[in-house]
Structure 1
Amino acid sequence: MTREELMKMSKKDLKNRLAELGKKAQALSGQELTDAMDEARNIGEILDEIKTREELMAAAAAAGSNDPEPGKGSEPGEGGEEPKNQVRAKNGKALKDGKAVSYKAKVLVNPRNAMTTERVAMPQHSSTEISPAFNNVSSLIDRVKTVPLPGGESYKRPYVVSYGDGAGSTTENADYNVSEPEFNYAEIVREKITAYAEEPEEMVKLPDADYDSVVEESVTRAIKRYASRQILVGPGGTGKFRGIFFNPSEEKEQVIDPATDITTITAIDDGTLDEIIYSYGGDENVEDIAVLILSKKDLKKFAKLRDKQGRRVYTIVNHGNTGSIDEVPYIINSACEEIGGTKDKYCMAYGPMSNYEVAIFSDIDARKSEHYKFKQGQIAYRADVFMGGNVVAKNGFIRVKNPSA
């Protein structure tokens, strides 16, 4: 039944109709069940309106107003003038006299519509959770080899430069061919990394959500983000990371020979990945445990590449900061430049993560102070750690570099 048809029924008939719908509900489904629910909802609203009118009539009677004239029913369908017109007349007179008038919320707002604070006063609630931002820390820091050295100042890792290639034929009674392995070492010095933040004391007093812990965690995340970038672009020198892209001025300190850099890639195409994979390692084998480090922009270029039939050239599987390109693992790091971008800048690195070591000379010391800016009502947070890193295998990574021109 439509709402107009229901409005013509008495309260008793409406209740009977509602009971009838309840009995039929078990046998209904689909659109019929939906229609029955809408009709039941309309009946409920009409019954609420009837109850509201009865309450208003009772209030009017208690205030000394005249009773409804005989024959003037209080419910729709019973004939006569509806009492709500009398109530409106009374409210209008009260308003003209400067008196306050109240209305029931259900009369003003359809319960099925969304209520806003402009219509009805709504209580304010706060979630106990704080929505995080996008991840800004590369997982590179979690994949390299770490060496705990609490209290240390520096660390040296020896590595093999070459195994020697002097074996050969020797005549009887002649000297043996000399074939000695060559060694060197990679030095790791400690760098002090710090982060600092402040928050007003009012933030700590905000309800529900733990803003305080987010601020405290952010200084630790900042340290991790910095260290992850330095694994690639650490400038070397006193008290600094020596990154994969770092080239010492002295040849004896060059763990990665700059002559092995790939400088022929000017754009990503269907042969880019093969060029990188088969350029890395020795002459006798192809490495199968290496990882490609690149920027998100270049990963996008791999993903958008299509063949002449419009099919993807590379099969890419994404897992947030990591994933694979044709089953070759990759890690995204924003310190990498873009292929075809700034000249002479490094864009990618390929090699086993164990070929880079991070020495941790102390734990991360995170502290909170409510005294430093007590007068301003500021709470201060700081965190620091001593750590350093370097490539620890000869030509442990092959690097892709934008050409000079």
Structure 2
Amino acid sequence: MNKQKKFRFALNLQTFSGGTEGQARLNEIETRKAEIRSLLEGDTEIDVDALETELRSLQAEEKEVRSSERRAALAAGIQDGTIEPRQTGNPFTPGDAPDPAKEARRAREERGKALKEQRAVTVGASTVVLPKHYASDIRPTFNEVSTLIDRVTHKPLLGGESFEQPYIKGYGTADYTAEGANYADAEPVFGKAQISKAKITAYAEDSEEIQKLAAADYDSHVMAGVTVATRKKITREILIGDGTTNHLAGIFSAAATAIDAATDLEVSEIDEFTLDEILFSYGGDEDVEDAAVLILNKKDLKAFATLRNSESKKVYDVKANGNSGTIDGVPYIINSACKAVSDATTATGQYSMAYGPLSNYMLTIFSDIDVQRSTDYKFKTGMIAHRSSVFVGGNVVTKNGFLRVKKAAAV
């Protein structure tokens, strides 16, 4: 479209709008809107809710009238040759064909709005309809999956059933030997961590109305939700899985045979000595381990962060970054499967924390996660099924790879 045609169209639109009934109605709306604003800002006793409702109705009607005027002007321009008709894109501006994904989303939103507006309510005795407005996006919730699942050791064994991971339990010690006598026995001692297959599944349904008519894309969130549910379960089982048939062996489980229960630490409360007790209780007799992570409940993290000394100064320097952070430079990860020491409802003997390198826990992947959608199961009722499944296994694969902290009886 050349500049001359654009100018002619602008004149056409202005002329067309100025002498129509629509323009008269727009003037009435502007006048009434000004009256309502004056009443709302004044001191006269009024029904605020009724006026605000009327104002919203006028704004909606104004938008519809202007849209109608614009469409009518476009039609007039095409008819008299001042506007070139287009097959695709915006008729007012040049451009490429629309994005199919955006067009599909816009069409879905329009269908959803049209369906819902059938339930709109008539205001008073007039014919003005107050429409309801619906968002086209869905706001997320708080994170429900601990990053623990992403930071342990992953070992892909696609198609497998079980796995044994050997580890060293300890080395022998040499000794003095007399001439001609036998050499001192100093054989290393080995152990094995058994990891067996466990099937973890998630299932959800939604209706075809949700998929086809809703303004917001609920269906994709339902689809993604089954994957989130699967990860949520696995990251908890890394700690509390009981190791029975079709279950992971969690760090707190007796099935984690690499950990000697005699090394468990008991803590009755979080005080100024707690972190040092954990750090120096972990590892062998010859060194203090580094590159380890403390796994704990958010309530206990709060107890560390809010602990004050006799001078009301913070005892620990806690730096939080979402699901992880540091306590006096010691990395931590929050996992709600831990029972908080600081929680009065936590029973004596329940596990509350674990400390050690996360690589000491192995998560074996026996299959890729499989996420599917199906309309067959409840075809007659128009329900859409979503499911995910994965075969995994897990266990501690290092001798005393984690220090486990239990809640002790109050002193």
Per-residue CA shift, 1:153-197, capped at 9, x if unaligned? 0011100011112x1211222211110001111011010000000
Q: Is the 8 A contact 2:226 2:387 kept in 1?
A: yes
Aligned residues: 302
Per-residue CA shift, 1:309-346, capped at 9, x if unaligned? 11111001111111110010000001100115211100
TM-score by length of 1: 0.70
The CA RMSD measured in Å over matched residues stands at 2.4
Given the alignment of the two structures, is residue 176 of structure 1 paired with residue 179 of structure 2, yes or no?
A: no
Residue type of the partner of 1:170? T
TM-score by length of 2: 0.69
1:373 Cα deviation from its structure 2 partner: 1.3
Per-residue CA shift, 1:7-63, capped at 9, x if unaligned? xxxxxxxxxxxxxxxxxxxxxxxxxxxxxxxxxxxxxxxxxxxxxxxxxxxx9xxxx
Distance in 1 separating the partners of 2:56 and 2:138: 28
Q: Is the 8 A contact 1:105 1:120 kept in 2?
A: no
1:119 Cα deviation from its structure 2 partner: 3.1
Q: Is the 8 A contact 1:233 1:335 kept in 2?
A: yes
Given the alignment of the two structures, is residue 163 of structure 1 paired with residue 171 of structure 2, yes or no?
A: yes
Given the alignment of the two structures, is residue 145 of structure 1 paired with residue 153 of structure 2, yes or no?
A: yes
Residue type of the partner of 1:105? R
Residue type of the partner of 1:343? T
Task: Specify the alignment match of 2:32 in structure 1.
Answer: 105
> Do the aligned partners of residues 102 and 326 (structure 1) sit closer, same or farther apart at CA in structure 2, a change above 3 Å counting?
closer
Q: Is the 8 A contact 1:126 1:207 kept in 2?
A: no
Counterparts of 1:25-104 in structure 2 under 5 Å?
104=31
Task: Specify the alignment match of 1:36 in structure 2.
Answer: none
Distance in 1 separating the partners of 2:29 and 2:172: 98
Per-residue CA shift, 1:247-273, capped at 9, x if unaligned? 14xxxx72100000002x100000000
Distance in 1 separating the partners of 2:133 and 2:408: 57
Given the alignment of the two structures, is residue 254 of structure 1 paired with residue 262 of structure 2, yes or no?
A: no
Task: Specify the alignment match of 2:239 in structure 1.
Answer: 232
> Do the aligned partners of residues 102 and 138 (structure 1) sit closer, same or farther apart at CA in structure 2, a change above 3 Å counting?
closer
Bigger CA radius of gyration: 1
Distance in 2 separating the partners of 1:307 and 1:313: 6
1:377 Cα deviation from its structure 2 partner: 2.1
Gaps of 5+ in 1: 1-58, 60-100
Q: Kindly, what percent of the aligned residue pairs are identical?
A: 52
> Do the aligned partners of residues 330 and 342 (structure 1) sit closer, same or farther apart at CA in structure 2, a change above 3 Å counting?
same
Counterparts of 1:265-344 in structure 2 under 5 Å?
265-339=267-341, 341-344=346-349
Task: Specify the alignment match of 1:92 in structure 2.
Answer: none
Q: Is the 8 A contact 2:33 2:55 kept in 1?
A: no
Q: Secondary structure at the match of 2:37?
A: coil
Given the alignment of the two structures, is residue 382 of structure 1 paired with residue 390 of structure 2, yes or no?
A: no
Q: Is the 8 A contact 2:268 2:409 kept in 1?
A: no
Residue type of the partner of 1:216? M
Gaps of 5+ in 2: 1-23, 42-47, 61-130
Residue type of the partner of 2:252? F
Task: Specify the alignment match of 1:345 in structure 2.
Answer: 350
Distance in 1 separating the partners of 2:189 and 2:219: 54
Task: Specify the alignment match of 1:37 in structure 2.
Answer: none
Distance in 2 separating the partners of 1:134 and 1:103: 44
Q: Is the 8 A contact 1:143 1:353 kept in 2?
A: yes
Distance in 2 separating the partners of 1:102 and 1:257: 80
Q: Secondary structure at the match of 2:209?
A: helix
> Do the aligned partners of residues 312 and 106 (structure 1) sit closer, same or farther apart at CA in structure 2, a change above 3 Å counting?
same
